[in-house]
Structure 1
């Protein structure tokens, strides 16, 4: 039997089960922060992908120099991560142990009469997942990445790649490059998976809530040219600087005149000084040392290249093209007999 639903009356929540009530959260819980002035060995509570856990201090990893100044938490408290929401994989969880946690988290105490903090937490998780799903869909739509048959790391054939540094390639889904502000370049002949890897990186960024934009080099040239004619250079540059991950495909497939080369340098320069999480991903069938042949204004290009590869990882991919692996060639012949020529037919 299908569950009966009703309109919550709140646009971003949508429909809810018919028996539920919509109550402002201030009547259900309140925010509280009790600071631990002197840490005395209490459990360290962390909000993770697996919910709220007691952190193992012997496991290593990034640790503060002191836990003084952390806040106390109790069982049934709700922990919310309300900072860096775009890059935080989990934003809410229910505390199960007494301990201390980062003061950056928001701790909420559930009021008497609403003892099931787990149920309240599940509501928040549902709303969070709904928001994340909507955000991901919007980011993918704005990214210009293909949505019908997306190129992802899951459908890339890593088994076809050989070399001593294949682990570096397989580590791309961690997105460590963008968090380290490290540019990526995939260089190699046509059909070796360069664009697939670049788009897969962008797709994974969108899945993590990171704004991404994909553009071919010829489209970038046309975009610059149109902007110059309309006097919109600043607006276009702002739009290309804004995404955290900018993917420029097929560098070297077209030529840039002097003005477009200067705009390209401005783009690279502004992204080089960008704050937060960011990088640029390039694909090309030409070695970067050959890119200058497609640009004019050498001084600007050299400055741009210097900034691109100041902190970058270049994957040189060699080998046969992946394309055509499913090509099937069928040889056929008609049943008609070749007509004889005049020399072969004595009656003609």
Structure 2
């Protein structure tokens, strides 16, 4: 029985090898010109399909993660964060903490790259085949409150609950009412020992009770978050201010910026204290 190229491509597509189906003519030409053996031809064909499936899975997981931007760990300037050693950074990149369902809590004032580090680790997790979901606290609370009514909220929260790594950005940036605190607790309780969580916050855990409005709920949340966790402190003034760019280059404007930055820097240390819970990894 004679098979046409279209017949072979249709069979590959039926076997869900759609990427290989598209490239089959190219592989056949290479096999002829390079005198591949049957084994070589089959290995090249399957290796290509495997590679494309991995690439498509990464593309899908990146889309599902909903990162506000993409910054890799390699773009992180370790000299800007003296509280984190090179050894600790390597440990984080190895992602063994994710396999053990450890949580990471990044504390520090605004603008010290807590979110950058969280996104970088999220990207590393995706490249290792893990499902990641990123959500800010400002987005999460409305999702939780509208889950019962909106299909869109249900789908987003389903992906969050099924993720291997959940990144919650700007935790406790504002106070919650009792209903919001209860909903947040139930989410954390569901993720407990099922997924790893990365939290970024400019407030220490000792302040969370007041922001949650219920010390009992705060204790229950902390119990689950801190049971298996590492708390890392990001120090220094805002890098957004330090490396800010301006449209104006006149001397008067530059002098104004210098004075402004000099005034703001000590204000961060006054109004955004952070607290050491653990000294090292």
Q: Where on the TM-score scale, by shorter chain, does this alignment land: which range?
A: 0.7 to 0.9
TM-score of the superposed pair, with normalisation by structure 2: 0.73
| Higher RCO by CA contacts (8 Å cutoff, separation 6 or greater) | 2
CA distance in 1, matches of 2:213, 2:152: 21
User: Are residue 331 (structure 1) and residue 250 (structure 2) matched?
Assistant: yes
Equivalent residue number for residue 15 of structure 1: 22
CA distance in 2, matches of 1:316, 1:156: 15
Go from structure 1 to structure 2 and tell me whether the alpha carbon gap of 1:166 and 1:316 turns closer, same or farther (over 3 Å shift): farther
Q: Deviations over 1:66-98 (max 9, x none)?
A: xxxxxxxxxxxxxxxxxxxxxxxxxxxxxxxxx
Go from structure 1 to structure 2 and tell me whether the alpha carbon gap of 1:129 and 1:20 turns closer, same or farther (over 3 Å shift): closer
Equivalent residue number for residue 155 of structure 1: 75
Equivalent residue number for residue 271 of structure 1: 191
Does the 8 A contact of 1:249 with 1:282 survive in 2?
Answer: yes
User: Are residue 321 (structure 1) and residue 238 (structure 2) matched?
Assistant: yes
Equivalent residue number for residue 273 of structure 2: none
CA distance in 2, matches of 1:238, 1:164: 34
C-alpha RMSD over aligned residues = 2.8
Equivalent residue number for residue 139 of structure 1: 61
CA distance in 1, matches of 2:244, 2:39: 55
Equivalent residue number for residue 180 of structure 1: 100
Equivalent residue number for residue 130 of structure 2: 210
> Which of 154, 157, 167 is 2:87 aligned to?
167
1:169 Cα shift?
2.7
CA distance in 2, matches of 1:173, 1:215: 21
CA distance in 1, matches of 2:65, 2:226: 24
Equivalent residue number for residue 261 of structure 2: none
1:237 Cα shift?
5.4
Give structure 1 stretches of 5+ with no counterpart: 22-113, 334-348
1:289 Cα shift?
1.4
TM-score of the superposed pair, with normalisation by structure 1: 0.60
SS in 2 for 1:15: helix
CA distance in 1, matches of 2:65, 2:151: 25
CA distance in 2, matches of 1:295, 1:232: 26
SS in 1 for 2:170: strand
User: Relative to total residues, which structure has the larger strand share, 1 or 2?
Assistant: 1
SS in 2 for 1:150: coil
Go from structure 1 to structure 2 and tell me whether the alpha carbon gap of 1:267 and 1:121 turns closer, same or farther (over 3 Å shift): same
CA distance in 1, matches of 2:122, 2:58: 12
Give structure 2 stretches of 5+ with no counterpart: 29-35, 253-281
Q: Deviations over 1:218-240 (max 9, x none)?
A: 11111122225569998775443
The structure whose Rg is larger is 1
User: Are residue 250 (structure 1) and residue 167 (structure 2) matched?
Assistant: no
Task: Provide the aligned length of Structure 1 versus Structure 2.
Answer: 232
User: Relative to total residues, which structure has the larger helix share, 1 or 2?
Assistant: 2
Equivalent residue number for residue 81 of structure 1: none
